[in-house]
Amino acid sequence: MHDVASALDRLRELSASPTVSKLAGAFESAGRELALVGGPVRDAFLGRPVNDLDFTTDADPDEILRIVRPIAEAHWDIGRAFGTIGARIEGEQVEITTYRADTYDGDSRKPEVVFGDSLEGDLTRRDFTVNAMALRLPRLELVDPSGGVEDLVARTLRTPAPPEQSFGDDPLRMLRAARFSSQLGFEVEEDTRAAMGALAAEIDRISAERVRDELSKLLLTDAPARGIRLLVDSGLADRVIPEVPALRLERDEHHRHKDVYEHSLTVLEQAIGYEKSRAVLDSPDLVMRLAALLHDIGKPATRRLEPGGAVSFHHHDVVGAKLAKKRLRALRFDNDTVAAVARLIELHLRFFGYTDGAWSDSAVRRYVRDAGDQLERLHILARADVTTRNRRKADMLSFAYDDLEARIAVLAEEEELAAVRPELDGAEIMRLLDIKPGPVVGEAYRYLLEVRLDEGPIGPDAARERLLAWWAAREAPAAG
């Protein structure tokens, strides 16, 4: 938290930028109010980079358009129904929104848009006090009707209105509390936290798409575990992603196993560390983080208490992949994300067989083939999944994975492993066997692929011989 004087200096610098000063001048000339609002003001106090310029005004959307048209390189009104006009001015993208006073009608999944009549009224209807500050332009007056500066100093998240009213107006704000807690490292104030628990069922009024977007923003923060704990503790996770709180398996005094919920949060944290340190993926990576959080969600359904105090979770990888698909589809994630996360969960245990005995080159090739374009994420997930406190065991697993990655690199260099294919394509198979397109071509292709995986490159001539021998053996019973 920067001191107030430093924050005001930053806001003065920002207001003097060509974009802000041109916009402020245009609204003043039109006799309309304009204020920089929300995130940019908050981030000036926190010393964080200001990335988005959001403004609010007493002008309605039609008038906003009339004012910005002459000074904008481009403008768009996709958010017009909600009072928001976007524009590009001096190369920067801005959004200007009419003062708002929207509420939900209690049944609808979308807010009823009602325009407000004052800046102070608009601010007191916003989600949290730290986001309910504004800088009036062009006179540079800080407007903070709800004590946002004090809450920034205290690192506290609190709603400007009573939390029951604020969350009743827009239940998505409860998820935003979790996201901002992770993003800013702030504590949610006691009454606000209590209201999240009391009103958790209200989140059912919000569309799956809006819930998905907010969960994604939470996972893409630097410390998402903090917000996930808040969602679980408040009961919100039971409504939006129940597989996560279900990881808190009941303990049995005679059967002991790792705390699956805490383990999953640790895996998520470790995966983020690998994601950043390896610098192979674009960080933050949503697929990676979803897979890390959900990788063990098959365990509750597969837990078996074995004789002697052991606990097993047979096939929790396969069950977990199916559960992840179902949940992510319900949250309206795109098909590519759903498929990638499910594949990673399905494969996340595969590596642990590597330490049971030396894998053949064939097994390494299959590992790469099965991972496909998720190989780098699978590397990270497998490493992050090691949370044992036994240093000797952790080192053994780390060294084993180092060895596996080294072998993959050597084979990849020798064999172009990332593009493992049979040495004969479908057209050549049909020509050689004198057959037409159909299922048999696929059978032959898969046979040659197995040969390629088992033995590596054998060359086209040898592949033809092997194919003809396979064909002769396949035809022999029919001939007899």
Spatial CA neighbour of 100 closest among 111, 109, 88, 110: 111
CB contact at 8 A, 467 and 429: yes
Q: What is the pLDDT averaged over residues 431-454?
A: 85
CB contact at 8 A, 195 and 163: yes
CATH of 1-154, one of 3.10.20.90, 3.40.50.300, 1.10.10.10, 3.30.460.10: 3.30.460.10
How far from chain centre, in Å, is Cα 297? 17
Which is more confidently placed, 437 or 333?
333
* Phi (first) and psi of residue 241, to 5 degrees: -150, 65
Beta-carbon contacts of residue 337 (< 8 Å; ≥ 6 apart): 286, 287, 290, 328
Is the pTM above the cut of 0.85?
no
* pLDDT, tens only, 284-307: 999 999 999 999 999 998 888 777
Tokens (6 digits) for 407:
């072998």
Which residues belong to CATH 3.30.460.10 in the chain? 1-154
pLDDT at residue 253 in the model: 46
Place of tokens 């929300």: 38
Beta-carbon contacts of residue 344 (< 8 Å; ≥ 6 apart): 287, 291, 295, 374, 377, 378, 381
pLDDT confidence bin for 480, thresholds 50/70/90: very low
Per DSSP bridges, beta strands 92-98 and 53-57 are parallel
C-alpha span between 248 and 471 (Å, rounded):
54
Per DSSP bridges, beta strands 311-312 and 304-305 are antiparallel
- The SS3 call for residue 258 is coil
* pLDDT, tens only, 349-400: 988 877 666 788 888 888 988 998 999 999 999 999 999 888 888 888 888 8
pLDDT confidence bin for 50, thresholds 50/70/90: confident
* pLDDT, tens only, 329-341: 999 999 999 999 9
Beta-carbon contacts of residue 194 (< 8 Å; ≥ 6 apart): 163
CB contact at 8 A, 129 and 151: yes
C-alpha span between 359 and 381 (Å, rounded):
20
User: Does residue 423 surpass a pLDDT of 90?
Assistant: no
* Phi (first) and psi of residue 96, to 5 degrees: -120, 125
* pLDDT, tens only, 128-187: 999 999 999 999 999 999 999 999 999 999 999 999 999 998 999 999 999 999 999 999
How many residues can be counted in the chain? Answer: 480
Angle of helix 286-294 versus helix 224-234 axis, rounded to 10: 50
